[in-house]
Amino acid sequence: MEKVAVNYEKMYYGFPVILVSFYDETGLPNVTPITSSYTLKDMIMLGFSSKGYAVNQLKKVKDFVVNIPDRSLLDAIEYCGSHSGYEVSKFENVDLTHAKGHMVNAPVIQECSIAIECTLTDVVEHEQFKGITNVLAQIKGRYVATEALHEDGSLAAAELDQVVCFGDGRSKSFRYLQ
C-alpha cells in the first residue's frame, strides 16, 4: 500500500468508548466518556487530559467503574463528553441510571452491558507528555449482562454493540460492531 505522511495532532484507530463513573470527593456520582484505555489481566490503564474533572477526582477517590455503552447511549456519551463535572452533575442531565458497585465504592451504570470495577494504583505523568495523565488501576470485579453471556458463562461478543471511535484530532467518527 502506498502511504503519505500525515501530521495529525493525534490519531484514534478504533478504540471503544467507555464511560468512567465515580463518586466524587463529596459523594456525588459523575461520569466521563473516554476512548484511551487498554487492559491486560487484572490491570487497566486509562488516558486523560490532565485538566478534566474526572481524572482529578479519581486521583483522590481512587475507585471507579469502566462501563461499556452501546449505540443507544450515544446522546449520553455526547453530553458527558461535552460538559465537565466542574460545572454539572452529569447524571442529572442524561438517561443513565446508577447504583453502587459490588467491589468498589463507585457507581455502576445500569444501561451498560459490561461493568469493570477498579481501584487506582498509580498516576503516571511524564515531563515529555505534558497535559496527559495516565491512570493505572487494578480490576476488582467484572460484571456482564446475562444477555451478553453464553450458557457456559463465556462472553457472547456478537451480542455486544459497543461504540468504536476513530479520529485524527480534527474530527471524530463512530462505528458500531453490529
Ligand X SMILES: Cc1cc2nc3c(=O)[nH]c(=O)nc-3n(C[C@H](O)[C@H](O)[C@H](O)COP(=O)(O)O)c2cc1C
Positions 63 through 102 that interact with ligand X (CB under 6 A): 77-78, 81-86
SS3 59: helix
Residue type, 142: R
Q: Where are the alpha helices (DSSP H) in the chain?
A: 53-61, 74-82
Residue type, 88: V
CB of 32 to ligand X, least distance (A): 4
With CA atoms as reference, report the closest residue to 81 among 116, 146, 122, 36. 36
Output 86 or 129, the one with its CB closest to ligand X: 86
**Which window, 41-49, 104-112, 122-130, 153-161, contacts ligand X (CB under 6 A)?**
41-49
Q: Which residue's Cβ has the minimum distance to ligand X?
A: 81
Grid cell of 25 as nine digits: 470527593
Out of 22, 48, 64, 91, which residue is the one contacting ligand X (CB under 6 A)? Answer: 48
Out of 53, 109, 115, 160, which residue is the one contacting ligand X (CB under 6 A)? Answer: 53
The CA dihedral of 48, 118, 150, 148, to the nearest 10 degrees, is -50
**Which window, 29-37, 110-118, 121-129, 141-149, contacts ligand X (CB under 6 A)?**
29-37
Enumerate binding residues for ligand X (CB under 6 A).
17, 32-36, 47-49, 52-54, 77-78, 81-86, 165
